[in-house]
């Protein structure tokens, strides 16, 4: 292990937040496939930020790659009792979006993509039952990012204290978690 690289940890977290903002913008424009893939990258970076406190960069790359499920298991193991189980389904769903980067499967078999901004459950009648389903709720992602600020012991005001108006609007749009962020 190389050791704790504070610059790398900060870089991962800042990059994760930039992907998060880009994902919210893509979702707002109804770019579902891209939004899902961008949120996947966001969470990958945010989780690697925390794991980077205990593993070197080479270890993160070799042991986790782009696998949210592996990263998530490691985070939950290092933070038992932190209420992270409630995000298991979201992580599993966003992990599937890594495959969307290469359209082989969904071009061959089709797919149903959807985004919901509310914290309410998507109903089965909103999707074609015969197609593979890719769906997520922005409110769940917002709640997870808020939780990761706490788990990773990062101060949102440090990262977002001086953002411009367009970025602020992207962060605030239909976001119930934002009250302590800006």
Question: Looking at residue 53, what is its pLDDT?
Answer: 85
Rounded to 5, what percent of the chain is helix, strand, coil? 65, 5, 30
Residue 36, domain member (yes or no):
yes
Confidence of residue 119 (pLDDT cuts 50, 70, 90): low
The pTM of the full predicted model, rounded to 2 decimals, is 0.89
- Shortest CA distance to 52 belongs to which of 93, 95, 115, 1? 1
Three-class secondary structure of residue 53 per DSSP: coil
Residue 23, domain member (yes or no):
yes
Contact 115, 27 (CB under 8 A): yes
State the Cα angle at 65 between 63 and 68, rounded to 5°: 100
Residue 130, domain member (yes or no):
yes
Q: Average pLDDT in the 55-83 region? A: 86
% residues pLDDT > 70 (the chain)? 92
Lowest-confidence region among 1-10, 64-73, 121-130, 149-158: 121-130
Higher pLDDT, 91 or 54: 91
In eight-state DSSP terms, residue 120 is S
Q: Average pLDDT in the 71-76 region? A: 95
Q: Retrieve residue 130's tokens.
A: 């015969």
Residue 1, domain member (yes or no):
no
Task: Give the number of domains in the chain.
Answer: 1
Neighbours of 73 (CB within 10 A): 14
Domain around 110:
6-180
Confidence of residue 122 (pLDDT cuts 50, 70, 90): very low
d(CA 170, CA 111): 28
């Amino acid at each position: 292990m190389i050791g704790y690289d504070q610059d790398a940890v900060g870089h991962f977290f800042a990059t994760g937040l930039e992907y998060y903002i880009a994902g919210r913008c893509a979702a707002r424009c109804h770019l579902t496939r891209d939004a899902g893939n961008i949120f996947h990258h966001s969470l990958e970076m945010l989780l690697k930020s925390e794991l980077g406190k205990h593993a070197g960069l080479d270890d993160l790359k070799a042991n986790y790659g782009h696998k949210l499920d592996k990263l998530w298991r490691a985070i939950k193991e290092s933070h038992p009792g932190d209420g992270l189980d409630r995000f298991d389904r979201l992580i599993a769903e966003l992990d599937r979006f890594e495959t969307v980067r290469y359209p082989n499967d969904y071009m061959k078999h089709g797919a149903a993509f959807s985004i919901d901004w509310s914290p309410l459950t998507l109903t089965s009648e909103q999707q074609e039952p015969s197609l593979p389903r890719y769906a997520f709720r922005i409110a769940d992602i917002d709640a997870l990012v808020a939780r990761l600020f706490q788990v990773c012991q990062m101060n949102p005001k440090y990262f977002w204290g001086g953002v411009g108006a367009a970025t602020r609007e992207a962060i605030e749009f239909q976001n119930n978690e934002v009250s302590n962020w800006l």
